[in-house]
Amino acid sequence: MDEIEVEAVDSLDPGVVSDTAEYVLYGGKGGVGKTTMAAATALASANDGTATLVVSTDPAHSLSDTLEFDVPSRPAKMREDSPLWAVEIDPDDALQQAGMFGQDGGFAGGLDQLLGGAGGAGGDGAMMPGADEAAAVQLLLEYMDDERFDRVVVDTAPTGHTLRLLELPEVLDSMVGRMMQLRDRFGGMMDGLTGMFGGDDEDEQAGLGNLDAVEERVERLRDVLTDPARTEFRVVLVPEEMSVLEAQRLTDRLDEFGVPVGTVVVNRVMEPLADAADVPGDAFVAPNHEDCEFCARRWDVQQAALADAQELFRNYDVARVPLLADEVRGERPLRVVAACLDE
């Protein structure tokens, strides 16, 4: 691979990063290559001169390994000569940072107690389910508002976690609505509950007076995720039957949420790299379907899955990224992946 120079993507069409997509989210089953795609897209975007932040929300982070950079839990610039920033959101750190969702009687704990959840029943201040995802979403919204970044690329957690994140606006909306109804019904009686929300003044920190702000953030998240002019969700899969079916379920659920899916990326296809990107074909090791029985059998399996994917996702842009002989780590192979995505 050292013998080849792969240029950064100069023009990013809707199959990679559209000129208007401020937020690009990669999702799919665990282990299909979401981190690789997010890192490659962010790198290409930054190389094009766009101030870009790549965010990992997956609890099992691999962004640091992929970028070969020690990515912290707060946004950090990778190097001075490139407008590329990176962050791995740590759930525990997110809970500590996110005041309105925080621990020790913060928004989540207070709701849990007031609405009869585990924390209220046991009196032990336990966090309600999804509080860590809620905190991560709050941080993600803060990064989206950060003026340092013109584009945010998100490597999401595996499918189940991603769907919970997408369901969170509805969950919080319902909870906040119930809280506001209680506040309206009982008026002054609610003032006595202010202490459980982490502040002496109901208009400070996570107090009841901030419920309107919480609802506003929930609405903002929904608006951002469902705006095709600003957001594109890209589903990643590998050419195997189970992966294709799971990707179909994810695209169906995203459609239910109104989240725009623009591209389906089929990763690790056993075909020559030159078939997917404008690079010299003799610079990379290609699978030998004629003399390698294993390669031939795997290619038969993949071709069947590719045919299914082509049919199921005919309404989306489908990008194919070949299986590389070496690990995709560092800038040079990530540029190769970016070139494949740009096809």
Q: Average pLDDT in the 207-235 region?
A: 75
Beta strands of the chain (E only): which ranges? 23-28, 52-56, 76-79, 82-88, 151-155, 231-237, 261-269, 317-322
Q: Which residues span the domain enclosing 56?
A: 23-341
Decide: helix, strand or coil at residue 224.
helix
CA distances from 56 to 85, 182, 196, 200 (A): 12, 37, 32, 35
> Would residue 293 count as lying in a domain?
yes
| Position 172 pLDDT exceeds 50 | yes
The pair of structure tokens assigned to 5 is 């120079």
Residue-wise pLDDT for 29-59, tens only, equals 889 999 999 999 999 999 999 999 999 987 7
- Are the CB atoms for 205 and 196 separated by under 8 Å? no
Cβ–Cβ under 8 Å, residues 151 and 241 = no
CA 201, 206, 212: angle at the middle one, nearest 5? 100
What pLDDT does 274 receive? 78
Strand partners, 236: 28, 265
Query: How many degrees, rounded to 5, is the angle at CA 59 between CA 53 and CA 63?
Result: 40
In the chain, what percentage of residues exceed pLDDT 70?
62
The mean predicted confidence, pLDDT, of the chain is 75
Q: Residue 316: pLDDT above 70?
A: yes
- The reply to whether 7 falls in a domain is no
3 inside domain: no
Answer yes or no: is 14 within a domain: no
Residue 15 domain flag: no
Residues with Cβ within 8 Å of residue 310, at least 6 apart in sequence: 318
Structural domain contains residue 265: yes
Report if residue 337 sits inside a domain.
yes
In this predicted model, what pLDDT tens digit does every residue of 182-207 receive, in sequence order? 666 665 555 554 444 444 444 444 44
Beta strands in 95-203 (DSSP E): 151-155
Separation of alpha carbons 247 and 253, rounded Å: 10
pLDDT in tens, 256-292: 888 889 999 999 999 988 787 777 656 678 888 888 9
DSSP SS3 for 280: coil
Give tens-digit pLDDT for 102-122.
Answer: 444 344 444 444 334 444 334
Query: What is the Cα–Cα distance from 14 to 342, expressed in whole angstroms?
Result: 9
Number of folded domains that form the chain: 1
pLDDT of residue 202: 44
Residue 13, pLDDT score: 37
- For 51-86, the pLDDT digits (tens) are 999 999 877 789 999 999 999 989 999 989 999 999
Residue with tokens 């010299």: 280
pLDDT class for 239, splitting at 50, 70, 90?
very high
Residue 7 DSSP symbol: P
Q: 242, 28 in Cβ contact below 8 A?
A: no
Contact between residue 115 and residue 175 where contact means Cβ atoms under 8 Å apart: yes
Q: Give every strand in the sheet of 317-322, ordered side by side.
A: 76-79, 82-88, 52-56, 151-155, 23-28, 231-237, 261-269, 317-322
Tally Cβ neighbours within 10 Å of residue 223. Answer: 12
Q: Name the pLDDT band for 158 (thresholds 50, 70, 90).
A: confident
13 in any annotated domain: no
Band of pLDDT at residue 24, cut at 50, 70 and 90 = very high
Assess whether pLDDT exceeds 80 at residue 242. yes
Mean pLDDT for 5-14 is 36
For residues 1 and 44, the model is more confident at 44
User: Residue 87's domain is classified under what CATH number?
Assistant: 3.40.50.300
Asked if residues 264 and 318 have their Cβ atoms less than 8 Å apart, the reply is: yes
